[in-house]
Amino acid sequence: MSFLSILYTTLIAPLELFFETIFSISNRLIRNEGLSIIVLSITVNFLVLPLYKRADELQAAERDAREKMAPGIAHLKETFSGDKRFMILQTFYRQNHYSPIYALRSSASLLLQIPFFIAAYNLLSGMQSLKGMSFGFISDLGKEDALFMIGSFPVNILPILMTLINIISGFVYTKGHPVSEKLRVYGLALFFLILLYHSPSGLVFYWLLNNVFSLMKNIFYKLKDPKKILSIIAAAAGASLLLLTWTAGSLDMRQKVLLSILSLLLLLPFLSRTGKTDKPRKERPKDALIFFSGALLMSVLTGLLIPIDVISASPEEFINVRFPFDPSLHVLYTMCLAFGLWVLWGGILYFFMKDRSKSYFSEGIWLICGISIVDYLTAGTDRGLLSPNLQYEEFPVFKLSEYLINSLIVLVLVLAFHFFFKKFRTLVRIVLIAGIVGVIGLSAFSIRSVHQTYRSFRNRFTYSDQVPTITLSREGQNVVVLMLDRAIGPLVPYLLEEKPELKEQFDGFTYYPNTISYGGHTNLAAPALFGGYEYVPGRLNKRDTEKMSVKHNEALKVMPVLFGQNGYEVTIFDPPYAGYTEIPDLSIYSDYPEFHLYNTADHFNFFEGEMDLEEYSDLVTSFRNRNFFCYSLMKIAPVLLQDTFYDSGAYNDESSGATGSSGDAGSDGISNASDLVQKKDDADLTAKGYDYDFMEYYPELTHLSEITSIKDGTANTFLMMTNDTTHSPCLLQKPDYVPARFVDNTAFDTDIGSRYNIGGKKLNMSARVQKLHYHVNMASFLQLGKWFDYLREMGVYDNTRIILVSDHGYGAGYFDIKCHDEDLGFYMPLLMVKDFNSTGFSVCEDFMTNADTPVLATSDLISDPVNPFTGNPINSDKKAGPQLIMSSDRWDVSGNNGTRFLPAYWYVFEGDPYDPECWKYRDRLSDASVRIIKMLS
């Protein structure tokens, strides 16, 4: 980061983020951009009112001091000259407890306005969600209002009105002030007129509202008891908000509770005045050490520890293989942002407060530290998988009991920490300083770990610009094993029912619906898929003198080496967890230089022609920088507020645009980083933005025909390939199921009841997770269908054996098949096989597992195939009888990497995969379970 970038991130970015969050939250509640700008203006102005009030007081004090000294200064300047005059003036200033630097106080309000203006200008002038949105006579908040034209010159009413209000406010404010100050105020009004005349009307409207507020503020200052009037206005606003909250039908209970709390806070000043007495208030000593220690602790917690904790969980997921940089560098941005919010702007507020208010600030930051740390460690810690774009696959819906318990904990913490602050002030200082040291120490350890992972990646990985190529023979035999990670086998009939043309494109395929896998995650299930029955979890555990990484790598080499030994030209794309790393370590095939090896990540560009891959990478980086800090704020928030901060994974980013005149449903394109987050409506019919994970893998499928090379001759080829499109659930634009910046499927979901019911077997499609997984499975099939058409066109379809298989399924609840309260869909993978010269689409009800893949791949091609590493025959004999399936959520190979899989639960299965009675749960600790597990292993 450059110095200017650091300065902007520290000084301006916190304000911009604050403005954006307020606007986003209000817009979600009000659903009107113009009214949301009004809420933003009112909120910001009321929050900074004490700041400006104190600045005005300092300015008035400086002005009074100058006026008091003016006669003396004039006399000294007339009497003395040169250095002597300077020395005497300095003495005169000291005698009057004045310093020339105090003259800066006269510019305090102006200096404070500059960062606020820059933040508002940058946010509102480029906010995509304002484009095409009207408000009153303003036809488009994203453009200048241009109410009418004089020739070709637009007459913009808002800037003119803003300037008039600014002048009136200045007239009220500067009454009785020196001419120089009046000229400064009026000159500033003219400056803003010129600067903002052609700006988007949303920005000008916001600044106009600020000027109205400033005018009202100046009038209030002239009143006899402004605090009383202000408390009455706040109480009226609070009562109105409370009434609207409980009469609005669009709000959920959580939102109503939060708005009710806000209403009570607005009522509080008025209620506190009713019981007010003339009894003098107790002194509250300020404590700058506590405040700044607390602010620094919050900075390192939200800007350092929490972001690096996320990155260190799986560092390679945050590495772009084409344009790599150390993922730990993300914390430079988040630390600047956090320091700017907590220390810089918190310190500015603290500096301008009176001593009594400073004491409240010190206690407040102490309470915030305590609540934040406890919430981070305890509240909502088990949310499931977090993607590299900081979105949860399924953000949890908290129960009422969870809200109540967490709220009670927060209340107890407030009381306890208040007691500590009152009674043990010295201990509070020690705890805060110790907290800073501890958080920095933990962060440093994680940063070192991430950096070591990055160095290891750079040492073993060299990016190649060589385009990944699928080589197929025109006259020889081609074998393709394509693993679609997490593809869900039971969806196939419903996909074909909706798109009958798929049956023609998948001509020759046999679908095996009664297929199981031996685990619910890639590290558990993929070894058996690639290596066969020797590599199911129970048998891998029996080889407990070897590292899991060694056994996993061995499984990934079984089919390529076997086909290579039999004269096949071998190509491998993205072997999952090769080297037990997130980015596959292709060096596991270093003994086979004849193999064609490719990591396809970051090779294919969906936005080709609009944005190159380097620009896309920069966009992803800026997107993550912002959202790492926002994720931290979500993690430290009480449970009641977490969904407000999370905002469906968009973290209140309002620059992603909105459907309407600014964009049509189904339109492609990307304009900024927030377009990499998909925000869906509650019915999952419309969405804004792309899903980052999906866009990482889907382009590979769209480019399959382009990267396929057909060569003449009778040579045989073998392709082993993995793609994660089906592992990246998102909402796609129907009827073609393609990614789009604006998705609108309201016209396509009118007959879902009949479409998802085949022969009385109904597919549950009410939950979001069900719809999104269906979409990405359909998208994958449609792109594969296009590739198969291309293979037919090139004359290589009939001489190609194709195996479509997944390592595991997903527990989306499509059929409510459960055992021990776990959805068994996790263990129902895809298995479809097209043999040489086969025709027609068929369904085979035989019991299968994805460990049959090596047998299916070698059938009738390699006689009596033998595992090249163990010497054992490759067959399906071990499929007979009960099967042992591992149930574990320890999918992370950086942690589950010993000589055995970490302890887990097991299922013993035999019979019909769709019958829960055929699945028997086995506790990992019972003696009976141990005997059964040993027997089946």
* Region 835-855 average pLDDT: 97
Quickly state the pLDDT bin for 656 (edges 50, 70, 90).
Answer: very low
- The whole-number pLDDT of residue 660 equals 35
Considering only CA atoms, which of 907, 915, 933 is closest in space to residue 518? 907
Output the pLDDT for position 899.
95
Backbone angles phi, psi at 169, to 5 degrees: -60, -40
Through-space distance between the first and last CA atoms of the chain, rounded to whole angstroms: 54
Statement: residue 661 has pLDDT above 50 = no
Quick one: pLDDT at residue 784?
A: 98
Give how far Cα 133 sits from Cα of 31, 127, 659, Å: 11, 11, 10
What is the β-pairing status of strands 757-758 and 761-762?
antiparallel
Which structure tokens are listed for 315? 């560092």
181-223 pLDDT tens trace = 677 778 888 888 888 888 899 999 998 998 888 888 777 777 7
Torsion angle of the four alpha carbons 134, 135, 138, 144, in this order, in degrees rounded to the nearest 10: -70
Most distant CA atoms of the chain, gap in Å:
115
> pLDDT higher for 436 or 95?
436
266 backbone dihedrals φ, ψ, rounded to 5° = -70, -30
Band (pLDDT 50/70/90 cuts) for residue 380 is low
Q: Give the pLDDT mean for 920-934.
A: 63
- Highest mean pLDDT (candidates 242-256, 601-615, 785-799): 785-799
Per cent of the chain over pLDDT 70 is 92
Joined together, the tokens standing for residue 612 give 């190159």
CA 596/CA 466 separation, integer angstroms: 11
Q: What does the pLDDT read at residue 658? A: 38
Tell me the average pLDDT across 113-131.
Answer: 85
The secondary element (H helix, E strand) that includes residue 155 is strand 153-155
Is domain 470-493+503-604+703-729+764-936 classified as CATH 3.40.720? Answer: yes
pLDDT of residue 105: 61
Of residues 116, 110, 112, the one with CA closest to residue 184: 110
Q: Is 262 strand, coil or helix? A: helix
The overall average pLDDT reported for the chain is 88
Q: Which residues pair with 842 in a beta bridge?
A: 510
**Cβ-contact 235, 269 below 8 angstroms:** yes
**In what helix (H) or strand (E) does residue 753 lie, and over which residues does it extend?**
helix 752-755
Give the Cα separation of 26 and 23 in Å (integer).
5
Cβ atoms of residues 517 and 848 within 8 Å: no
- Residues 6+ positions from 903 with CB-CB distance below 8 Å: 924
Cis status, amide bond into 903, omega within 30 of 0: no
In the structure, what pLDDT confidence band is assigned to residue 678 with cuts at 50, 70 and 90? confident
Least Cα distance to 490 among 839, 777, 850 occurs for: 777
Question: What is the H or E stretch that residue 281 is in?
Answer: none
Mean pLDDT value across residues 275-300: 80
Containing 719, the helix (H) or strand (E) segment is: strand 716-723
Q: Which residue has the tokens 């003994």?
A: 591
Cα–Cα nearest to 425, from 296, 287, 281, 283: 287
Distance CA 560, CA 589 (A): 9
Q: How far apart are CA 654 and CA 26, in angstroms?
A: 11
DSSP 507-543: TTEEE-SSEE-S-SSHHHHHHHHHH-GGGSHHHHHH-
pLDDT per position as a tens digit, 738-762: 999 899 999 886 655 556 888 888 9
Give the residue among 93, 432, 479 at the shortest CA–CA distance from 295: 432
Q: Which of 145, 337, 124, 270 is nearest to 210 (CA)?
A: 124
Does residue 347 or residue 100 have the better pLDDT? 347
pLDDT (average), residues 507-522: 97
Find tokens 């999370």 and name the residue.
Answer: 646
Q: What does the pLDDT look like over 421-442, one tens digit per residue?
A: 988 999 999 999 999 999 999 9
From 225, 38, 196, select the one nearest 118 (Cα to Cα): 196
Number of Cβ within 10 Å of residue 743's Cβ equals 27
Residue 618 is predicted with a pLDDT of: 84
Q: Rg of the chain over CA atoms, in angstroms?
A: 33
For the segment 840-849, what is each residue's pLDDT rounded down to a tens digit?
999 999 999 9
Note the pLDDT of residue 281.
Answer: 63
- Give the model's pLDDT for residue 395: 66
* 31: confidence class by pLDDT, cuts 50, 70, 90: confident
Query: Tens digits of per-residue pLDDT, 928-937?
Result: 555 555 666 5
User: What does the buried/exposed string (b/e) look like for 263-283 if buried means 16 or more CB atoms within 10 Å of the residue's CB?
Assistant: beebbebbeeeeeeeeeeeee
Per-residue pLDDT, 671: 64
Encode pLDDT of 386-426 as tens digits: 888 888 877 667 888 888 998 999 999 999 999 999 889 99
The yes-or-no verdict on residue 544 having pLDDT over 50 is yes
Question: Among 77-91, 300-314, 552-566, whose mean pLDDT is lowest?
Answer: 77-91
Report how far residue 834's alpha carbon sits from residue 840's, in angstroms, rounded to the nearest whole number: 10
Give the pLDDT band of residue 657 (cuts 50, 70, 90): very low
Which carries the bigger pLDDT value, residue 601 or residue 16?
16
Q: Which two tokens stand for residue 871?
A: 């010497």
pLDDT in tens, 162-173: 889 888 877 776
DSSP structural state of residue 475 = S
- The Cα 38–Cα 16 span in angstroms is 16
Dist CA 124 CA 143 (whole Å): 11
Smallest CA-to-CA distance from 499 within 86, 783, 205, 225 is with 783
For the chain, which residues make up each domain, given as ranges?
A: 283-463+619-663, 470-493+503-604+703-729+764-936
Higher pLDDT, 260 or 385: 260
Residue 559 binned pLDDT confidence (cut-offs 50, 70, 90): very high
Torsion angle of the four alpha carbons 83, 89, 91, 94, in this order, in degrees rounded to the nearest 10:
-140
pLDDT tens digits, one per residue of 797-829? 999 999 999 999 999 999 989 999 999 999 999
266 pLDDT more than 90: no
Structure tokens at 280: 């003098």
Section 834-858 average pLDDT? 97
